[in-house]
Chain A
Amino acid sequence: MEPTPETTTAAPPAGAPTGPGIATLTVEDRSPVDAVPLEQREVVFDCRGVGVRYNGKRALRDVDLRIHANAVTALIGPSGCGKSTFIRCLNRMNDLIPGASVDGEVAYHGENLYDPQVDPIEVRKRIGMVFQKPNPFPKSIYDNIAFGPRVLGMKDQLDDRVEQALRRAVLWDEVKDRLKEGALGLSGGQQQRLCIARALAVEPDVILMDEPCSALDPISTSAIEDLMLSLTDDYTVVIVTHNMQQAARVADMTAFFSVDQGETGARCGVLVEVDRTERIFTNPANERTEAYVTGRFG
């Protein structure tokens, strides 16, 4: 990705996490949950040897990654590195792509999501997802939020549920007087927060976000980032982002994916390195990571 002028000035090479322009909150700065060191928190996802093939063609291989509870884990890397492919493995959204097949094991609280006994519908109830482009349903704001609870049979106190979800997504004050109006009339940033609220309304455990800010302006992006940080009190958040500064700002852990070119010329995504965000951006163990985060590659 071409770094925008704005981001180049904001990010000194090997960006010091507390440097100007990068407001990385240290783990201790945050709520009581954060008092527990990251590595000791519950492991929500334990991925072993995860790979994906599209119509037999390998797009991602051998990902070993642990994702901890009540933290933001960012997946970064150049285009085609398989980070979006990977995040879609975590709630079995790849099942919906014809020809996609996943190998390896994704243990969610110890249970392999790809066990034949597992119902992908149940998986997605617990592991919500927000997409790159805001995708509200073409109906009212209220009905957008109520969709999830309705289809899952959580129909008691629906009004409260809708309000709570909208409050949690910091959208309530902007829309409380027009809940019956169409969601497509909201701005892009509001639509994306609506989609987050929609995901929250079904009380998931994990929120996956696939480049949630790439279609948004800086102010909306900032609002969504603040929201992500506040969500870690109750949820585990995994985001894919093209924007390294965003990863530096919001993520506790960062996983760097890259593209390997095989001898046959076939390109395949791999996980290069995963570590605490500060380390990835200041002192990465792998030189490919360093080349990427300092802007010499990708």
Chain B
Amino acid sequence: MNAAGRIAQQHAGVAVRESLAGRRNRSVAAGIFLGYLLLSTVVGLIALAVLLVTILQDGLPYLDSMLFTNSPSANPERAGARPAIIASILVAVVLIATALPVAVGTAVYLEEFAPKGNRLIDLIELNIQNLAAVPSIIFGILGLAFLVRGIDLGPVLLAGALILGLQMLPTVIIASREALRAVPDSVRQGGMALGATRWQVVWREVLPAAIPGIATGSILGMSRAIGETAPLLMVGAATFVSFNPGLLTQYTVLPILIYQWIKLPQDMFQGLAAAAIIVLLVILVAMNGFAIWMRNRYERKW
């Protein structure tokens, strides 16, 4: 670069510096806003940290193998959470076997096959959106009326799991639809242009491409259901179960056991409740962590 050019550039540099100085007011506003954003984030983090620390303090001393092997007992020295842990796992299995296929099927139909602009379809879509906003206790009432009494299933694990599945449906349907929508139309067109039927294209290309998103949504929906209490109280989950539950027996799940223990007067039960909360938290964090790992691992850039 020649000398004249360099001088011109220095002049330009001065002009730029002056014009930049004029922006200070705006950067103050930006700073305030940034501070506010940071503060908002910190509030959430602090609340979470306080909760975790208290729970760990209360619960860790009680977190021993007895919690996993023993049944609940009136004697806090011998009380464990085994039936509740087993029931929670069983609930998860029932959710995978029932709610998941229904939700994914619904999503595939609505996204890939349903006629656009059809009144009935629009109504169904509206309902699914609304269903996601229904309070969980209402699902409990529904379960009580239809499953426990209506078809006389009684207050058994299957009834509770089914109602949790129903509650989980809208979340998983919406997440699955998002995942299907993220598969570009060019994939469908490419398949159809080869003489494949719509079904073949969906089954062989679109659905596999959407699986990571569907799985992520499903796990998040399930982890919410596993931590749910209110609807199960409504459908008659027992609070004291000392035997290993089956699908058609009475049952209690971890959140309900925790709820029960906290109500008891002895201090030791408070500690046990905290320990059970740790177990529940670990399960939920593990599920969410798996969902996040899966999303990052299989996320595709189109």
Contact = CB atoms under 8 A, between A and B. Distances in A.
Contact of A121 (B187, B197, B204, B300): B197
Contacts, number: 72
A195 B187 CA distance: 11
A138 B189 contact: no
A202 interface: yes
B187 A137 contact: yes
B186 A124 contact: no
A31 B300 CA distance: 44
A147 B194 contact: yes
A38 to B, nearest CB: 26
Nearest to A124: B195
The listed residue with most A CB atoms (<10 A of its CB), out of B187, B195, B197, is B195
A93 B189 contact: yes
Contact of A202 (B189, B194, B205): B194
A128 interface: yes
Interface residues of B, number: 21
A122 B186 contact: no
B223 to A, nearest CB: 27
B119 interface: no
B190 to A, nearest CB: 4
Interface string B162-199: 00000000000000000000001011111111111100
B192 A135 contact: no
Interface in A145-175: 147-148, 150-152
Given A93-B189, A131-B190, A202-B194, A147 B184 contact: no
A131 B192 CA distance: 12
Contacts of B208: 139
Interface in B112-151: 116-117
Given A137-B205, A147-B205, A151-B200, A131 B186 contact: yes
A179 to B, nearest CB: 18
Contacts of A129: 193
B196 A148 contact: yes
Contacts of B187: 135, 137-138
Interface in A115-152: 121-122, 124-126, 128-129, 131, 133, 135-139, 147-148, 150-152
A199 B191 CA distance: 10
Interface string A172-184: 0000000000001
Given A98-B116, A151-B204, A198 B194 contact: yes
B237 interface: no
A148 to B, nearest CB: 4
A91 interface: yes
B209 interface: yes
B195 A148 contact: yes
Contacts of B116: 98
Contact of B194 (A133, A148, A184): A148
A129 B188 CA distance: 13
A208 to B, nearest CB: 8
Nearest to A184: B300
Contacts of B197: 121, 151
A124 B190 CA distance: 11
B196 to A, nearest CB: 4
Contacts of B191: 137, 147, 151
The listed residue with most B CB atoms (<10 A of its CB), out of A124, A128, A151, A198, is A151
Contacts of B186: 131, 133, 135
A142 B190 CA distance: 16
The 8 A-B pairs with the shortest beta carbon distances in the complex, nearest first, are A125-B195, A135-B186, A129-B193, A148-B194, A151-B196, A135-B190, A124-B195, A151-B200
11 contacts: A93-B193, A121-B196, A124-B193, A124-B195, A125-B195, A137-B191, A138-B205, A147-B194, A147-B205, A150-B204, A198-B190
Given A128-B193, A135-B187, 11 more contacts: A93-B193, A98-B116, A124-B194, A126-B195, A128-B194, A131-B190, A131-B193, A137-B190, A147-B194, A148-B196, A198-B190
